[in-house]
Structures are given as C-alpha cells and as structure tokens.
Amino acid sequence: MDIEIKKSIKPVNYFEAIDLLESRLKNITANKEKELIWILEHPEIFTAGTSYKENEIIDKSIDLLKTNRGGKITYHGPGQLICYFVIDLREKKDIRKFITTIENTIIQSLKKYNIETFADKENIGIWHEDKNKIQKIAAIGIRVRKWIAYHGFAINIDNNLENYKKIVPCGISDKSVTNLKKISNQDYSNLNNEIIENFISNLKI
C-alpha cells in the first residue's frame, strides 16, 4: 500500500482542497499517482451534500456551498481536524467495509484519549454519550467514483459550536454536536498522527 501523507499547517481553502482531490482521483484512476491521506483545516464554511433538504437551513443568511459528496449539511472551521483521502477500492469493492474502516479509525484514535465513542447504523458519523445525552463528535462524507473513494471526515476538537445552530447538522434534528475540548480538556495536538496511523493500519485489514 503506497499512500502519500499530506499535512497542511495553514487553513486550506475549500475549493482548492476539492480541486486537488478531484485531480488526484483522476490520476489514481489512470494509475499515475499514489493514494492520498490529507490532514488539514478549513476557514469557516457551510457545505451541503447531495441529499440535503432546504428545510435543514435554519439561518437563511448563511452562504451554503453545494458539493458532490454524500450526506447533508455540515459546518467546517478552525478547531476542526479534517482528514481528506483518495483511496483506491478497485480490488476490495466494498463501500460498507470502507465506511466501517473510517468509523473504527476515529473510535480507536479517540480511545487513546480515554474518550469512548461509537458508530450508529441509523445516523452516519461518530457519537459520544454523556449522562444519557448523545452528541456527534465526527462527521463522515464520502463519494465513490469508479471505485475510487474520496472526500473524508471531520473531528470537532475546539471549534465554534454556535455555528451548528444555523443548520440541522447532517440532517439530524434530535441530536446535538459537541467537540473534544468540551468532553475532556486535553492536548490533542497528536491526534492527526493517531488518525493517520490507525487509518493506514485499518485499510490493510
């Protein structure tokens, strides 16, 4: 497995990131470039996946970018760890297993910080339960083209949760969103490396 690991220190413009993913997907399809795992952060932006509905926009004044990823509406911004990828599934051809790989990667990585999380078959993403209150800690949105998977997932570390009140996050109205700092005030500076290590390990299974 030959995967390029890319880490961006400064926030990356959303359009520039998607252009790079699309270019890499095209080149991987033609067997011209390596697969990619890319850790980054975006400036503030609201994005809508292919299955969003207009009534999921609460604050009609927000600028909403429609994308070609799966899923509904979410928010990206400072304090959020984003892991984009372009991964070749042409041999395995198992999308469900790939999503499980992503879920397990996040769950295992957060367990290193003694934070217990879980996946929900009914609601995609990773969740945390505290005092019988279930809150989303990570969002997942992928697209598969010619068995190449791309886009990625986002883990809330210390981002502005107020922005989620402007939308129905991921189309789920009966559950709220949290971040790692609210759950446990720790140093998460090495979380990106945990994610990369676990992701690569799980992809080999």
Can you give the pLDDT of all 205 residues of the chain as single tens digits? 789 999 999 999 999 999 999 999 999 999 999 999 999 999 999 999 999 999 999 999 999 999 988 888 999 999 999 999 999 999 999 999 999 999 999 999 999 999 999 999 889 899 999 888 999 999 999 999 999 999 999 999 999 999 999 999 888 888 899 999 999 999 999 999 999 999 999 999 8
Other C-beta atoms closer than 10 Å to the C-beta of 198 total 20
The CATH H-level superfamily of 3-203 is Bira Bifunctional Protein; Domain 2 (3.30.930.10)
Q: What is the dihedral of CA 17, 21, 23, 29, to 10 degrees?
A: 180
Write the CB contacts of 143 (distance below 8 Å, at least 6 apart in sequence).
68, 69, 70, 149, 150, 151
pLDDT at 146: 96
Write the CB contacts of 62 (distance below 8 Å, at least 6 apart in sequence).
46, 166, 167
Using DSSP's 3-state secondary structure scheme, residue 119 falls into strand
Other C-beta atoms closer than 10 Å to the C-beta of 135 total 17
Q: Which of 170, 180, 191, 196 is catalytic?
A: 170
Cα-to-chain-centroid distance, residue 10:
18
pLDDT at 153: 97
Q: State how far the Cα of 175 lies from the Cα of 168, in Å rounded to an integer.
A: 9
pTM: 0.94
Q: State how far the Cα of 133 lies from the Cα of 131, in Å rounded to an integer.
A: 5
Write the CB contacts of 4 (distance below 8 Å, at least 6 apart in sequence).
33, 34, 35, 36, 37
CA distances from 127 to 37, 38, 62, 124, 177 (A): 23, 23, 26, 9, 9
Residue 83 bears catalytic tag = no
pLDDT at 203: 97
pLDDT at 171: 83
CA angle 24, 5, 114 (to 5 degrees): 125
Residue 104, Ramachandran bin (φ over 0: left; ψ between -120 and 50: alpha; else beta): alpha
pLDDT at 68: 86
